[in-house]
Structure 1
Amino acid sequence: MNFYRLNTLSRRAVSAAGVFRMGSPTRSPRAAATVGLAAIGIALGAALSTGSVAAADVRSASARYQDTVASSSAASSRRSNRETPTVAAIRRASPSVVNLHGHKTVRQAVSSIGGAAPDVARQVNGMGTGVVIDPRGYVVTNYHVVEDVFEINVTLQDGSTTTADLVVSDPASDLALVKLRGSGPFPTIPRGHSNDLMVGEPVIAIGNAFGYVHTSTVGIVSALHRDIPVNETQSYRDLIQTSAGINPGNSGGPLLNIDGEMIGLNVAVRVGAQQIAFAIPIDQVLDTVTEMVSRHNDRRFVIGMNGTSEQDGGLRIVGLSKGGSAQLGGLQTGDRIMKINEDNIDTELQYALAVLDAEPGQKLRMEFQRDEETYETFVATLPATAASADPIASLAWQVIGVAVRPAGDAFTRRMNSQLKTSYRGGLLITDVRPGSAADQQSLRSGDVLLGIHSWQTSSLGDLAEILQHPEIRQGPNAKFYIVRRDQTLFGHMQLAAQPTTTRR
């Protein structure tokens, strides 16, 4: 079974690399015709006399006026019938859809008589689509759209152009986050949910199809929870199947419901088929992007706070690192963060993006609620170090060789729904110490530690109890469980023995 990715390379270039992704033209087409608007001039040629106007003339003018009103009303009625929910949905979402294009270098092996085939580098044009998810200009798209692109050029809906910078990416999930250059605010996509989709409900795709910017097509949800293999090393899981027409250049564009809300990110089509296309569900997209940004933040600085979004707004603090900057700023477990600087905080992603804009050493103004009262504090973004002041973090770095933080509720929800597990959570690995037990077993940033021996590591408290257990303190060859790319894996690693302490 073959699938095209709706990516940026030409078909010829990609098939030579062994992956049959969908290509795009090397030049963006222009509109084939220009619509001319004929100016309609209305001459007011009635000569007014100084005498009185006849009653018949008045009635005639009144009748003409009534005819004009009736005609205008009929035209208005016809226009309102034409303005269907599909028209309204496209109008609502289009301003937040951007077109991405650029150049990348592709290396191809060419035949050589009597020797090894040398690599030949050549430039190919590529294009795709992106969706603005934050007014500061953060755009989500597919990783394969921006992979190896030197300069990401962007065309907005109004025809203006700018460039974008790659912020974070995750090849495993084929997602990337870029940031538009220029002053905002930028219009953001209305977000729906993908956990309540119905087979048969109408959907709309918007994208840069074959270079025709802001192309809109319609279809229905054909099926849900599709697992699609792309090649020997990558597959997509739990996708939305749709009959909306999507083509090369549609990658990274939104799949909308009839209310104009984004419910998926278009990613692939079935090779040789008609109206069989696939999109990553929006809930999965946002959960993954949140994890990507949080990992990136953890590598830059330490705040020492973990939270979960509340239905009525704000981010509830569920965990604080001892001695972390959030605790030093006076925050407590149970506080609800409402604002960071001038940004309202309603989701974990909004919190991650607000922190992403900060620089190491900067103080963030946080507005929070406690016991129905609103307070303000300032929290510093301390430069990240693998071994922090937290004794549990230092012990994990010494014994296992990892820096970790709670993976969050988004990970737990996805893990339990997709992997059908009973784990309460996990610890996201943000760094691995070279030469450590974790390094020798090829653990890496982005893995989620689920357990050691027969104990779950669903929280930092769990990890503290495990590391302080007498059996673990002896440095055993311990079995561990992780999640990587939505797969549950296990292995064994030789933990470092901890020095014993004696009383004097």
Structure 2
Amino acid sequence: MKPRGLAEADLRRSGFGTGIVLTGDGLVMTNFHVVNGAQEILIRPRGSTVDVPAEIVGMDGATDVALLRAKSGDWKAATLTSSDRVQPGDVVLALGSPFGLEQTVTLGIVSATGRAEIRGLASSLQDFIQTDAAINPGNSGGPLVDGRGRVIGMNTARYGGEGIGLAVPVNLALKVADDLMKGGRVKRGMLGVRLVDVDPQVIAELKLSSAAKGAVVLHVEAGQAADKAGLLPGDVIVSVNGQAVTSRARFLMRMTTLKTGEVVKLAYFRASEQRETEATLMDTPVKLPPATLERELLPGLKVALVDEKLRNKLLLQPSFHALLVLEDYKTPEGVLKLSAGDFILRVNGSSPYPNDGDTPESLMQRLTPKKAVVLLHIQRKNGEEADVGLVVPPGINK
């Protein structure tokens, strides 16, 4: 049985992937690793021979989820159901275009749920459905459906040899997609701790029960939410909002959809005594690497020239030339125009590409606006490109 609304994303640079249509106006969910770095994205609806251009709404590498929007066409949304009810032994179908073979269906069962800490994958936050339905290159981003054709997960990877396929539970994927729709990225609340799993060495050092499970607090960042809630190194977190935590990976998954400002209830052990506390999550700070040359392009708009050193740190292509925005930039009315981490690709049509004889200082001077109105062509952190108009404050560059 095929769910309605499947789409294949034809990526000129990196091949084929598959997507799940969420809405009739063309919102499509797929994997981050399918579209990350793509210069052009074309979506081919099920049963069609016509490719439709699409744009990236937002991406989240931590969960390997991306949200696209088709630029035209009427779409049929897939039928979804809750992934919380999925159990080992359930019959499932994996759909997609493995190796470019369109509309391929494979049959299997759910082998396990809650798979985590699997190395070599794009996602760092993992809570996979494991299936023995065949998942191959080209299936990524496509639906894993139950026996009634309802989407329960998004196919992500084949692990190891044959018979081990992994899918992101649809409930998690939809929560991430909702955040991407609202703001282009997932803003996760920060507790401010470093954790390790309970292992025999930890059990011996902390004198825990041999059956103890949880996430051990290794470090608490001063001034962050955990510090204010009274957590200390050595505490063993065993639940988040009443949901059990059996490992560091499970703790991270419990926290992944919680937002800045939310109050989270934590249960933990300290010296064999169970305690509870509440922590108000804080915003995750943006950490940008130092650059060779930093300057204010406009008053309050702090940028860095992307040079070889910065390209290496940010894993950018050698041919990438831009200005990196170092701090959020708002208008005097408080409207956010640029975010820390955005790239400025052109200033009034001029590229940061160095001319013969340019020094970093002369290049920055050449890019500094001389007109009252400035048009910036930018690439946001989610990969989307946009034009942003700014008005130069009176008196600058006179």
TM-score, with normalisation over the residues of structure 1? 0.39
* Larger gyration radius, structure 1 or structure 2: 1
